[in-house]
Amino acid sequence: MVAGVSSATAAGGIPSASSRASISRDQFLKILVSELTSQDPLEPMNNNDFIQQLVGLQSLEQTANLTDSLSSFERFMQMSSGSTMIGKSVKGLAANGEQVQGVVTKVVLENGTVNVVVGSRKVPVDSITEILAQ
């Protein structure tokens, strides 16, 4: 059985997609070497199967890297959007569901969530329902 996967994290404390993948490249290669050394010499592994496994692993890694990149880009866009709200009056829902209205004083990234700060309350950028003119 494969040992636990490392718990690398991306910005904001969220585990990256590549760290959430079920096995790493090194673990895959260890399993493959184990399969090759344990295989029946009279019925060796098919080369096509071997190549398909390598291609599948590469595809998984590329998808995980793309997911990480898109998540980082999304956080960047939310920070950018939040920064344009500084000094403006907004309405939105805090994480606890409370309706919040007031002037945004700053934008923070906590646990992978971009929040605007209104008074002493934090409102996720994606929970802003209205931006009001001053």
- Co-location of 77 and 101 in the same domain: no
**Is there a domain that residue 76 lies in?**
yes
Do 92 and 68 have their domain in common?
Answer: no
Does position 74 have pLDDT exceeding 50, yes or no? yes
Contacts of 11 (CB under 8 A, 6+ apart): 72, 75, 109, 112
> What is the H or E stretch that residue 22 is in?
none
Over pLDDT 70: what percentage of the chain?
Answer: 79
Can you give the pLDDT at residue 15?
Answer: 59
Domain hosting residue 106, numbered range = 85-132
- The better pLDDT of the pair 3, 27 is held by 27
What is the model's pLDDT at position 22?
Answer: 56
Per-residue pLDDT tens over the stretch 92-131: 999 899 999 999 999 999 988 899 999 999 999 999 999 9
- State pTM to two decimals: 0.57
Q: Are residues 91 and 73 in the same domain?
A: no
Please report whether residue 36 resides in a domain.
yes
| Structural domains counted in the chain | 2
Average pLDDT of span 79-83: 91
